[in-house]
Amino acid sequence: MSQPPRQDRIFAAAVVGAGAAGLAAALALARDGIPTALIGRHAPVADGRTVALLDGSVRFLEALGAWDAIAPHAGPLATLQIIDDTGSLFRLPPVRFHAGEIGLAAFGWNVESRRLTEALRAQARVTDNLTLFESDALEASAGEAFSEVRLADGATVAARLVIGADGARSPLRQAGGIRVRDWSYPQGAITTILAHGRPHGDVSTEFHTRGGPFTLVPLPGDRSSLVWVAGEGTARRLAGLDDAGLAEAVTRQAQGMLGPMRVDGPRGLVPMRGLSVASATAHRLALIGEAAHVFPPIGAQGLNLGLRDAAALRDAVLAATREGRDPGSRAALDGFARGRRRDAALRSTAVDALNRSLLADLAPVDALRGFGLLAMSAIGPLRRAVMREGVLPRLGAPEQMRAAG
């Protein structure tokens, strides 16, 4: 390190990566008085991707002052429906879960990803204690008392804690020497927004097919988002169709449930992969969002987990600051690392098991999946426990995600 920065120029936290997870973490810290830097350009990807924000995430976005700008563009998920379309011998009739059974108006709200990041970005621009650096980070070096992040525009940012929210490829994770396990699935996901002839009735439907889940998630009006996970060859073929051809294929795959479809937004093709980290923390570094975990888009878990990372990190940094401890120290981050490992492992294992069970095409595996779903749908307390856990973990939910009372 060259000239040591003046004490008053050292931020308590520097977040690298201005995707949804990074923006949320930066806002959460700054709104609670923590001097925070947010490093990264506003670079939303136009691939028709939406996120179904579960109940706890909505509460967090409310606490960040961003929800009012998001709500008009978000569709409620009042009912989740699973349809077994595998052709298996152990096929069950459609299973439905209603948010009302666990006292909620909706399990969550579905919104286009770009709208979410735009709303968070707008809020970040007007938040005290938050300094925006609209440039990429080139490298970070962790020193004894603080870390330094060198930016593409020549600036250097010093902070007690660097937060890596720089996505699945995370240069910061690599620089921090954090070990990863990564893998890929022989699948791709087609994403887009669809307009349809019949109303969705706030029902999100997941068809379980042999290629993976085919999911339609409600948006406001007669529109839904599509996540069609299919074998690599099929996904590439679907991506090669024109809009009319894709709409026809989707209408057929949805068994005409929502009437004729029309593509009404940008389209994307996302390869299916997974990644987990040995630890979400290293010296003066904490990873959140896809920098810390990647798994297939099943059950709307990815960003909800990323927002829990952000909210849990805010709790850890706040607790350290109140006790006069260094927020980048191991002691300050240990609880965060333990809690996030548990939560990420649980979600990633469940998503992986369901995805692989569809691909396996083996009778015993089908029987197990069918039995699990049957037990979940028929046994009331289990059914409600699974619904609650899916929306927000019972143990260790971050403060700003908990329901009042």
Ligand X SMILES: Cc1cc2nc3c(=O)[nH]c(=O)nc-3n(C[C@H](O)[C@H](O)[C@H](O)COP(=O)(O)OP(=O)(O)OC[C@H]3O[C@@H](n4cnc5c(N)ncnc54)[C@H](O)[C@@H]3O)c2cc1C
Taking the C-alpha atoms of residue 273 and residue 233, their distance in angstroms, rounded to an integer, is 16
Please state the closest distance from residue 380 (CB atom) to ligand X, in A.
27
**Site membership for ligand X, residue 130 (CB under 6 A):** no
Taking the C-alpha atoms of residue 230 and residue 270, their distance in angstroms, rounded to an integer, is 11
Between 132 and 137, CB nearer to ligand X: 137
**Site membership for ligand X, residue 48 (CB under 6 A):** no
Please state the closest distance from residue 293 (CB atom) to ligand X, in A.
8
**Site membership for ligand X, residue 227 (CB under 6 A):** yes
Q: Is 324 left (phi over 0), alpha (psi -120 to 50) or beta?
A: left
Taking the C-alpha atoms of residue 130 and residue 13, their distance in angstroms, rounded to an integer, is 10
Find out whether 289 and 277 touch, Cβ atoms under 8 Å: no
Taking the C-alpha atoms of residue 148 and residue 123, their distance in angstroms, rounded to an integer, is 26
> Checking DSSP bridges between strand 79-84 and strand 203-209, what pairing results, if any?
parallel
Taking the C-alpha atoms of residue 377 and residue 363, their distance in angstroms, rounded to an integer, is 21
Name the amino acid, one letter, at 360: A
Between 135 and 279, CB nearer to ligand X: 135
**Site membership for ligand X, residue 52 (CB under 6 A):** yes
Please state the closest distance from residue 232 (CB atom) to ligand X, in A.
15
Query: Containing H/E element for 207?
Result: strand 203-209
Query: Containing H/E element for 275?
Result: strand 268-277
**Site membership for ligand X, residue 332 (CB under 6 A):** no
**Site membership for ligand X, residue 49 (CB under 6 A):** yes
**Site membership for ligand X, residue 18 (CB under 6 A):** yes
Residue from 188, 306, 390, 398 touching ligand X (CB under 6 A): that is 306
Range in contact with ligand X (rule: CB under 6 A) among 35-43, 177-185, 342-350, 363-371 = 35-43
Name the amino acid, one letter, at 91: R
Range in contact with ligand X (rule: CB under 6 A) among 12-20, 86-94, 179-187, 345-353 = 12-20
**Site membership for ligand X, residue 287 (CB under 6 A):** no
Given the rule CB under 6 A, which residues bind ligand X? 16-22, 39-40, 43, 49, 51-52, 113, 136-137, 165-167, 171, 189, 191, 227, 270, 289-290, 297, 300-304, 306
